[in-house]
Copies of this chain bind each other. A is one copy, B any other.
Amino acid sequence: MQESQIVLEPLYSLKNTFKGNLQQIDSLILDNVSGNDPLIKTIATTLISAGGKRLRPLLCLASSHLVGQASQNTFYLAAAVELIHAATLLHDDVVDDSYLRRGRETANVSWGNKPSILVGDFLFARAFELMVKTGNIRYLDILATASAKISEGEVTQLRCIKSLNISVDEYLKIIEYKTSTLFAAACQTGALSAGASEEKSYKLGEFGKYFGLMYQILDDVLDYEGESRGKLKGDDFREGKVTFPILFAYQADTDKNFWHMCFNGTENTDENFQAVLERLNRFDAFSHSIAIAKLYGLEAQKILKQFKSPIIEMLDSLIESFLNQKIF
């Protein structure tokens, strides 16, 4: 077995378990990304076909299987959640001026900001059309609220760009809103679609929330440490995003000026990025951040223990793999 296969094993196991279901979901996604306009089809299929882990549909599916069995509605919801995710990626890449995503040039680079904005809107609307197909307004309730929170989190993040004095609570709220909310909604609606009670589904929503918090904190670490995950290293630094690693180092460092120069001035240069990396390591900023991510992972695992299913072990391993930074 090659190394790349070993490290991705828990994700592959899960995907393999739900292979048939995931294929149905992928068909639903691809059927829904093409409008009559050829430009929509080109942009949306390029993004969707570039891969991505399909983590949110997978967790939606897994949640349904934890409490019963996936239904046609689970597939609609899993596809809708991935479309919402794809819509936010298109808009985020415009907002962040990103130029690499899933190992490819971003849509805003290939086709410009304007189509990216409009195709994002299209995918978002299509997600709601898919939800309507379930015939159950409860799902729309959960996912409309989640969608509003995602944009709210993104706005707050934008407003707090370069704010070294952002509080831990503010940072946590940003990542909960912009990332966790959709994971939570995926799991909660997934469980509901398999006939689970509101109470049980809420619990799995909490599982998704903690999973999402862990995921985003690790993602923020990998933005400084990670290699070849399809995005550019140091994007957050160049954009002036203040994340956990920065919060830890800034708080510990007596030389505040250095940080203000990097974040409040125009000194977010490549040279300073190296200096930032050195300080992040010096002040254990990564290990502190990962420690918090582990706490959230543990919370997610605690919730899993309340369920009985062979999938639990796979989800446990998936969490461990993320925490060991083997999957990204």
* Chain A positions near chain B (C-beta within 8 angstroms): 35-40, 88, 91, 94-95, 113-115, 117-122, 124-126, 128-129, 131-132, 135-137, 140-141, 144-145, 147-148, 150-152, 154-156, 158-159
For A155, give its contact among B95, B115, B124, B150 (CB under 8 Å): B115
For A39, give its contact among B126, B131, B150, B155 (CB under 8 Å): B155
CB distance from A36 to the nearest CB of B (A): 6
Q: Judging by beta carbons under 8 Å apart, are B117 and A152 in contact?
A: no
Looking at chain A's contact residues, the main secondary structure is helix
The 5 closest A-B pairs by CB, nearest first: A125-B147, A125-B148, A128-B144, A122-B151, A121-B151
Q: Judging by beta carbons under 8 Å apart, are A152 and B114 in contact?
A: no
CB distance from A116 to the nearest CB of B (A): 9
Q: Judging by beta carbons under 8 Å apart, are A145 and B129 in contact?
A: yes
Give 15 A-B contacts (CB < 8 Å), ordered by A residue. Answer: A35-B152, A35-B155, A37-B156, A37-B159, A38-B159, A91-B121, A115-B158, A118-B151, A121-B124, A121-B147, A124-B124, A128-B147, A132-B140, A132-B144, A135-B137
Task: Report how far A181 CA is from B267 CA in the complex, Å.
Answer: 48
Q: Which residues of chain B are near A151, meaning CB under 8 Å?
A: 118-119, 121-122, 125
Q: Which residues of chain B are near A155, meaning CB under 8 Å?
A: 35, 37, 39-40, 115, 118-119, 122
Knowing A137-B136, A148-B125, the reply to whether A39 touches B158 (Cβ < 8 A) is yes
Task: Report how far A234 CA is from B280 CA in the complex, Å.
Answer: 53
Q: Which residues of chain B are near A35, meaning CB under 8 Å?
A: 148, 152, 155
Q: Which residues of chain B are near A136, meaning CB under 8 Å?
A: 137
Most buried by B among A119, A155, A158: A155
For A144, give its contact among B38, B129, B156 (CB under 8 Å): B129
Q: Judging by beta carbons under 8 Å apart, are A132 and B128 in contact?
A: no
Q: Which residues of chain B are near A37, meaning CB under 8 Å?
A: 152, 155-156, 159
CB distance from A140 to the nearest CB of B (A): 5
Task: Report how far A15 CA is from B173 CA in the complex, Å.
Answer: 42
For A94, give its contact among B88, B117, B126, B137 (CB under 8 Å): B117
Task: Report how far A31 CA is from B238 CA in the complex, Å.
Answer: 36
